[in-house]
Amino acid sequence: MHIHKFEQFWIKLSFVLIAFFVATVVYGFVAMDLKVIGDHATIDPQNLADTKFGNPGVREVTRNGQTEYEVYVQTIQFAFNPGTAQPIEVPVDTRVTFYITSPDVLHGFDVAGTNLNTMAIPGQVAKFTTIFPEVREYGIVCNEYCGPAHHVMEGKIKVVPKSEFDKSNLVE
């Protein structure tokens, strides 16, 4: 079969384009050190009460001599606990690790306008660590359809200056 040389050229070019896409993704995850949510742990969604999710909220921990924070969040129909009734308050420029799970159905935990975004799957614990670089409020939205009031499921993260961080809201 004879293929016109222009056509041969753009067929080759499309393979170059695919190689370029793959190369940028490899570059992102190797050189730029991008991270995505992995599989951290499984959990019995019926018995969250016996775990740290039974008392969700912000915990202070010391890791490698540094003060860090752990945030345990339950996503429920149709709220983030904590997050919806009261905002999740964390200090700026500090390592914060989120642990998120769902006791009921599939939800999403998307910190709007950022790369922080995970599914909340019953039976699975999603874990990610981040550092909030500026003092501001972020919205959290559920981005997986979870029922009739899915569209109103939202919450807030309040990033405050370290000096204004109120430790009385921490959970044990």
Partner 1 sequence: MPDEASKSTNSNESGKSWEEQDPDIVREVTIDEYKPYGTLTLTLIYFAIVALMWVFMYFVEFAGNAPSIIE
**Residue 82 near Cu ion by CB under 5 A:** no
Residues 169, 45, 149, 111, CA torsion sign: positive
**Residue 71 near partner 1 by CB under 8 A:** no
**Residues binding partner 1: what is the number (CB under 8 A)?**
33
Among 43, 48, 79, 116, interactor with partner 1 by CB under 8 A: 116
How far is the C-alpha of 71 from the C-alpha of 13, rounded, in Å?
48
**Residue 1 near partner 1 by CB under 8 A:** yes
For 4, 102, 143, 158, the CA distances from 122, given in Å and listed in that order, are: 55, 5, 15, 26
Report which residue type is found at 103.
P
**Residue 20 near partner 1 by CB under 8 A:** yes
Binding partner at 153 among partner 1, Cu ion, none, C-beta below 5 to 8 Å by kind: Cu ion
Exposed/middle/buried for residue 111 (C-beta within 10 Å: 0-12, 13-18, 19+): buried
**Residue 18 near partner 1 by CB under 8 A:** no
Q: Which is nearer to partner 1, 11 or 152 (CB)?
A: 11
Residue with tokens 């742990």: 41
Binding partner at 107 among Cu ion, partner 1, none, C-beta below 5 to 8 Å by kind: Cu ion
Q: In what helix (H) or strand (E) does residue 7 lie, and over which residues does it extend? A: helix 5-30
Stretch that binds partner 1, among 27-35, 43-51, 99-107, 148-156 (CB under 8 A): 27-35
What does the binding site for Cu ion look like in residue numbers (CB under 5 A)?
A: 107, 142, 146, 153
